[in-house]
């Protein structure tokens, strides 16, 4: 009679998997209700700005919009800092460190920066993209004005980023 033996590595993986399944393991930053509320408020103000310029806007009209841009860019910048400041759970950081060993995963998670930690805490990246987008829109508005199709492009890019951030943040609430 032959006894089949499992390799030690496979046994350890199975035991570790069972252990982790039995535990509540947090791999994402904690939920921040204030962050979600302030993202929602900033989203509303940003959509009002997009509505105000949806038919286009001349460069000469920029002075009436300048303060709105400044408020929104500053607000999203502060929200990005708040999201970045949340602690990443130790196990998630270890996972990110392991992902960093693989070039493909570095590119998928971290984009140009190659930071796999952004897969664990993706909201700061999405919010920083909003700041960059609104800054480019402000610069374009000030220099040449905004054509209707340019507004639509800026708004589409904004919607992708805000939806990503809001989806992640509201999912964190559900995981509590």
Beta bridge mates, 146? 57
Does residue 145 lie within any of the structural domains? yes
Does residue 168 lie within any of the structural domains? yes
Cα 125 to the center of its chain, rounded Å = 4
pTM for this model (two decimals): 0.76
156 with 135: CB under 8 angstroms?
no
Among the listed ranges 2-6, 50-54, 140-144, which one has the minimum average pLDDT value?
Answer: 2-6
Q: Which residues span the domain enclosing 51?
A: 31-86+121-174
Check whether 42 has a pLDDT greater than 80. Answer: yes
Provide the token pair at 142: 């000030």
Does residue 102 lie within any of the structural domains? no
Provide the token pair at 158: 């904004």
Among 120, 97, 91, 118, residue whose Cα is nearest residue 107 = 118
Does residue 160 lie within any of the structural domains? yes
Does residue 26 lie within any of the structural domains? no
100 with 116: CB under 8 angstroms?
yes
* Angle, vertex CA 80, rays to CA 120 and CA 84, nearest 5: 40
Q: Name 53's Cβ contacts closer than 8 Å, sequence gap at least 6.
A: 65, 141, 146, 151
Does residue 111 lie within any of the structural domains? no
What's the domain count of the chain?
Answer: 1
Q: Which residue has the higher pLDDT, 107 or 170?
A: 170
Confidence class for position 30, pLDDT limits 50, 70, 90: confident
């Amino acid at each position: 009679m032959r006894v089949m033996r499992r390799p030690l590595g496979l046994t350890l993986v199975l035991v570790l998997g069972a252990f982790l399944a039995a535990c509540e393991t947090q791999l994402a930053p904690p939920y921040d209700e204030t962050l979600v509320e302030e993202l929602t408020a900033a989203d509303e103000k940003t959509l009002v700005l997009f509505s105000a310029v949806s038919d286009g806007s001349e460069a000469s009209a920029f002075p009436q919009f300048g303060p709105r841009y400044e408020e929104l860019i500053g607000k999203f910048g502060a929200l990005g800092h708040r999201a970045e400041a949340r602690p990443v759970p130790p196990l998630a950081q270890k996972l990110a460190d392991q992902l960093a060993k693989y070039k493909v995963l570095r590119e998928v998670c971290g984009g140009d920066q190659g930071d796999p930690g952004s897969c664990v805490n993706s909201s700061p990246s999405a919010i920083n993209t909003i700041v960059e987008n609104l800054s480019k829109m402000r610069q374009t508005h000030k220099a040449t004005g905004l054509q209707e199709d340019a507004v639509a492009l800026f708004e589409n890019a904004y919607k992708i980023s805000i939806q990503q951030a809001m989806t992640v943040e509201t999912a964190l609430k559900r995981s509590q």
